[in-house]
Amino acid sequence: MNGAEPNDRRPLPRWGGRPWGRLRPTPLAGRPSAGRRVTASLGADVAVAVGLFGLLYAVLALAHAGPGRAAAAHVSLRYAMLPVYAGYSVARMAAAYALSLGFSLVYGYVAANNRRAERILVPILDILQSIPILSFLPSVVLALIALLPNGRAGVEVAAILLVFTSQAWNMTFSFYNSLLTVPREFREVARLYGLSWWQRFRQLELPYAVVGLVWNSMMSWAGGWFFLMAAEMFTLGGRSFQLAGLGSYLQVAANRHDGRAEAAGLLTLVLVIVSIDQLVWRPLIAWADRFKVELVESQSPPRSAVLMVLRRSSLVEGLSGRLLAPLVERLDRALSRPATHRQAPGVGPAFGARLGSWALSACAVAAAGFAVWHGVLLLATVTPAAARELPLATLFTVLRVAAALLLSAAWAVPVGVFIGLNRAWAARLQPIVQILASIPATALFPVVVLWLLALGGGLSYVSVLLMMLGTQWYILFNVIAGAMSIPEDLKEAAALFHLSGWERWRTLILPGIFPFLITGMITAAGGAWNAAIVTEYVQAGTHTVWTLGLGSLIARSSQQAHYGLLLAATMCLSAVVVIANRFFWRRLYRLTETRYTLVM
């Protein structure tokens, strides 16, 4: 460090294009001349201005059409309404994603940097992603309608919160795991420079987690379409709750057996997915490539025409320099300022804080006692015959979830590695994978069940294949992110030593993707537990098919209003999740932290 003291307050080099990241000098050969740079900048400015005006027009058009359309329970199947409905759905998805990203950053940071909090937060997160959220939708909607003065606003907020529950968990696990695997040398440099928690977060931890966050954001966005379609239109008792959107359009078309309208809705969904891929995800993937930890630049980095236009635009550069940079600088000064005020001894704010903590703890204990008492009363209504069914149902569901995870990993790992290590194929297959992951799996269940049952075999085996429809994408997206994050210099070293076949997998690929694979397996396990509700109890036309398991037990007890058995089955599910987290997943996380962390 050229004799610099550890408390030297010189600005720390940033990640990506700085000494902590990969130095990426722009080659002189091929640089445009001054005139060509002006032309490119002018064209980029025009493109950015047109895009901003188009976005503004779309927002105003949706706002103008919103009050009359959103308040009505009727959803029109006219093709002209498809752009408006798609705009509503994308707006709800964006709001849910913003909540999910904020939650993931805060929750993952606290869990990774506080060992005491980690023992509580990680099991809670695992339970939250495993408990079937759809069963709580009616209660959430009724509560929000009662709290908010406008009933339609309550349904809107409920829909956004439901999509949030489908997006947040895998993003949080990804960020948490990335923080655990930050190279020790980087943390040591941060300590020597005396970085505050905010500087360490913004200049080290967040950049290191960008690749995983981007790919898990794509997975979250794809998975959110199913929950949005379930939340935009549902029936509770004799009341129908319906929001104008692409999901409700598809459901109305399916209920009316209008094949043309359903095809038009699916085509609109595909166009929206492809457009978002080109305008949002592909630029983010190309931008995130600069945060890879490697010493050698890739020969074929991911590219995006949209990102190139944004980088060449002087309009974007001016807005960033005059608005974003001062804001970030002020935020840095505010959050990096050392604490100078000390608490005076005696009765003061510290005593008030302790008193508030005691009061909050007392309220929490009282609420927990009230819930436990009423829970015991509900469990007392469970008959001995139903109680004897619980252990066997738990065992069968655990075996199905394990089988679905293993079968999903068997094909998703090699395919994900192939896509992640071949940039040309990644550009071609990325939109296809997003489209397949965005198609609501439950819409295919009745057709798949009838077809598979006709071939032979009961639902006990078919449910494993149905689980895979909703869980395999979590593993695939995370493996792709892991393969793309393998440093280029390590790939060249493997080629230099002529590693191929199993040796290349054992020494390079599997260690490189292992942290991402564990994150994908955990989130896929949560998806499999959720999918058990709809795969072990399937309604195909006028036929209802079910097999023994916790999922079918929860579905049947919910339909029969047997709340004691519903509580008992949910408690069994939560217990299995906590045990798996404590004795299996947490040990694998420790393994990624101690053995599969990148060492520079």
Predicted confidence band of residue 239 (pLDDT cuts 50, 70, 90) = low
Is the pLDDT score of 550 beyond 80?
Answer: yes
Q: Is residue 399 part of a domain?
A: yes
- pLDDT confidence of residue 103: 94
Q: What is the tens place of the pLDDT at every residue in 313-334?
A: 777 777 777 777 788 788 777 7
Across 527-555, average pLDDT: 77
Query: Is residue 327, in this structure, part of any structural domain at all?
Result: no
The confidence score (pLDDT) of residue 124 equals: 80
Strand partners, 538: 545
C-alpha distance across the termini of the chain, in Å: 17
Of 155 and 393, more confident: 393
Of the chain, the percentage scoring pLDDT greater than 70 comes to 71
94-104 b/e (C-beta count within 10 Å ≥ 16 → b): ebbbebbbebb
Mean pLDDT on 263-279: 86
Tell me, yes or no, whether 46 lies in a domain: no
The pLDDT of residue 485? 82
Residue 71: per-residue pLDDT: 39
3-state secondary structure 363-385: HHHHHHHHHHHHHHHHHCCCCHH
Rounded CA gap, 473 and 438, in Å? 10
Quick check: is 483 in a domain?
Answer: yes
Q: Are 473 and 459 in contact (CB under 8 A)?
A: no
Structural domain span for residue 143: 72-302+374-594
- pLDDT level of residue 402 (50, 70, 90 thresholds): very high
Residue 9 has pLDDT above 50, yes or no: no
Burial class (CB in 10 A: 0-12, 13-18, 19+), 80: exposed
Quote the pLDDT of residue 560. 74
* Amino acid 413: pLDDT: 94
Q: What is the pLDDT of residue 338?
A: 52
Residue 63 lies in a domain: no
423: closest CA among 311, 298, 512, 516?
A: 298
Residue 503 lies in a domain: yes
Strand partners, 299: none
| pLDDT for res 384 | 86
What pLDDT score does 428 carry? 78
Continuous H helices in 320-442: 325-336, 349-379, 384-421, 423-438
- pLDDT tens for each residue of 170-210: 899 889 988 888 888 888 888 888 888 888 898 889 998 99
Q: What is the CA radius of gyration of the chain?
A: 26
For the chain, what is the domain count? 1
Write the CB contacts of 476 (distance below 8 Å, at least 6 apart in sequence): 412, 415, 416, 433, 437, 520
Written as six digits, the tokens of 18 are: 């700085």
Hey, which residues does 31 pair with through a beta bridge? Answer: none
For all residues of the chain together, what is the average pLDDT? 75
Tokens of 525: 């396990």
Residue pair 329/198 in contact (Cβ under 8 Å)? The answer is no
Q: What pLDDT band is residue 102 in, cutting at 50, 70 and 90?
A: very high
Please write the tens of the pLDDT for every residue from 207-221. Answer: 989 988 998 898 888
Please name the amino acid found at residue 141.
V
Q: What is the pLDDT confidence band of residue 23, given thresholds at 50, 70 and 90?
A: very low
Does residue 192 or residue 247 have the better pLDDT? 192
pLDDT of 579 above 70: yes
**pLDDT tens for each residue of 446-476:** 666 667 666 666 677 778 888 888 788 889 9
The CATH code of the domain that includes 438 is 1.10.3720.10
Is pLDDT above 90 for 105? yes
Better-scored residue on pLDDT, 113 or 60: 113
CA distance 231 to 219: 19
Note the pLDDT of residue 277. Answer: 84
pLDDT at 404: 92
pLDDT digits (tens, 9 = 90+) for 144-162: 666 665 556 777 887 888 7
Confidence of residue 490 (pLDDT cuts 50, 70, 90): confident
Within a domain: residue 135?
yes
Summarize pLDDT for 346-373 with one digit per residue, the tens: 444 455 556 666 776 777 677 767 767 7
Q: Is the pLDDT of residue 39 over 50?
A: no
What is the pLDDT, as a whole number, of residue 28? 33
pLDDT(80) > 60: yes
Whether pTM exceeds 0.95: no
| Cβ atoms of 335 and 195 closer than 8 Å | no
Task: Give me the pLDDT at residue 3, please.
Answer: 42
Q: What is the pLDDT of residue 246?
A: 85
Comparing C-alpha atoms, which of 332, 17, 291, 329 is closest to residue 201? 332
> For residues 293 and 484, what is the distance between their CA atoms, to the nearest angstrom?
11
Is residue 491 situated within a structural domain? yes
